[in-house]
Chain A
Amino acid sequence: MTVAWQVGRVIAAQRETATARTLDIDVPGWSGNLAGQHLDLRLTAPDGYTATRSYSIASAGSGTRVQLAVDEVPGGEVSPYLVDQVAVGDELEVRGPLGGWFVWRPTVPTPVQLIAGGSGIVPLMAMLRSRRDTGSSVPFRLLYSVRTAEDVIFRRELEELASSGLPIDWVYTRSAPEGWAAPAGRVNKDSLAGAVIPLGDAPAVFVCGPTSFVEAVADILVSLGYPAEQVKTERFGGA
């Protein structure tokens, strides 16, 4: 295996929601990463037992600082440790960056539609940051589906991006904020059709979220006529 494990140190940690936390990790040997890539993270117990999981990277570009946003999986082995236990100053082993498919490159001029379900926002956030940090003028639009307003990860930064011109469409599946025009519910063909970059602009579409969300959204996009080869997906969890 040519990708080596590297030791990083947690330099910042911030609670994002009741179940999710961002971790900023400084990895001295990090080679930088493309927006959308992921890494492997390994924990080691005192007796040498290890547990490894893959996490999407929320940051992009050169530099040795990577950010993860981890949502706690109930009964999970690694995510509860990252959300509740690990502290600034602790060391973590990581390996990466990994993956060369679900990535956005600032040199590609095609308009980009991002569609996130829950913590599926993480690799899409890396794309939004990459666009902002490179001064790209490629048109972007984000659709973000969450259970409630309290479940939004990266809330403040998304509000800043929205106020600087990024179109964001919100979908609340469990309960909508007071005064919100649409009732709470999952995306459907009608709501999706009105909330994504039109077919005529031939966008590249990135969809990330739980399996059921990604399956539903990708099926609707194809039924609306978006070419399957323009829809990249990343799913997590069982079917």
Chain B
Amino acid sequence: MAVFSRGFTGRRREQDPSLPPGQYLTEDFPVLSAGPTPRIAIEDWQFTVRTEQGLLHSWTWDQFTDLGLEEVHTDIHCVTRWSKLGTTWRGVSLDKVFAVVDTHDEFVMAHSYGGYTTNIPLADLLDGQAWIATEFNGGPLDPEHGGPARLLVPHLYFWKSAKWVRGLTMMDRDDPGFWEQNGYNLYGDPWKEQRYS
């Protein structure tokens, strides 16, 4: 039951196969955040993984980046409908982080400086699918885009790529994070348009 919009023709006729349904291309890098931008000095930054046994794995900035940065070329898709293709990041693969973490839990809550949270299945963070990114386009990641470090899980809507990330907590069930409690989908696959709950 399509309702046609009288006189509307649209600008882009061709559908880019890199573009998930309902998305449009943007050249700039929009910012979406629920509150003020936290300013975290690298000297104060710490990254922590907490397991179900209560074990804490912690890294300082230097310890963390010493795990090894790799370059990531990827498309990113925001639930507010912009997509940005061919972005370049550098970050630490979460495979390297989880190589030293012993857990049976299948879900993860990412925590950020400023209090933001988002939930992700562990399987979506492994096998070269996710990073803790510290650089964007050849320079340090700006605070308004999540610097000094943000989660990068580009195969899910970008709210899952938590800005200002400070740690991951293992969970035995898929509890909702911040936006997931505020009307957004628990998983967020852009190719299935899993926008809202």
Contact = CB atoms under 8 A, between A and B. Distances in A.
Question: Do A and B come together as binding partners?
Answer: yes
Interface of A: 1-3, 7, 43-46, 48-54, 77, 81, 85-87, 90-93, 98-102, 211, 215, 218-219, 221-222, 228-229, 231-233, 235-239
Closest 5 interchain pairs by CB?
A238-B28, A218-B36, A100-B182, A43-B5, A77-B11
A51 B197 CA distance: 22
A43 to B, nearest CB: 4
Contacts of B63: none
B142 A239 contact: yes
Contacts, number: 116
Interface in B1-51: 2-13, 22, 24, 26, 28-38
A239 B30 contact: yes
B114 interface: yes
B35 A238 contact: no
B43 to A, nearest CB: 20
Contacts of A50: 10, 22
Contacts of A239: 28-31, 142, 144-145
A9 to B, nearest CB: 10
A161 to B, nearest CB: 26
28 contacts: A1-B195, A2-B196, A7-B3, A43-B5, A44-B2, A44-B5, A45-B5, A45-B9, A50-B10, A81-B7, A87-B6, A90-B5, A91-B3, A91-B5, A92-B3, A100-B183, A215-B37, A218-B36, A219-B37, A228-B35, A228-B115, A235-B33, A236-B30, A237-B28, A237-B30, A238-B26, A238-B30, A239-B31
Interface in B167-185: 178-179, 181-183
A99 B183 CA distance: 6
A48 B2 contact: yes
* Interface hub of B13, B24, B35, B196 (most chain A Cβ within 10 A): B35
A43 B22 contact: no
A1 B182 CA distance: 15
B150 to A, nearest CB: 14
B196 A3 contact: yes
A219 B10 contact: no
A86 B153 CA distance: 39
A231 B35 contact: yes
Contacts of A2: 196-197
Size range of the chain B interface in the assembly: 35 or more
Contacts of B35: 218, 228-229, 231-233
A154 B87 CA distance: 39
Contacts of B129: none
Contacts of A232: 34-35
B24 A215 contact: no
Given A1-B196, A45-B5, 15 more contacts: A1-B193, A2-B197, A46-B9, A49-B10, A51-B11, A77-B12, A81-B5, A85-B7, A215-B31, A215-B37, A215-B144, A219-B36, A222-B36, A228-B38, A235-B30
B155 interface: no
B37 A218 contact: yes
B11 to A, nearest CB: 4
Nearest to B196: A3
Given A44-B4, A99-B182, A229-B115, A52 B22 contact: yes
B36 A231 contact: yes
B80 interface: yes
Contacts of B179: 101
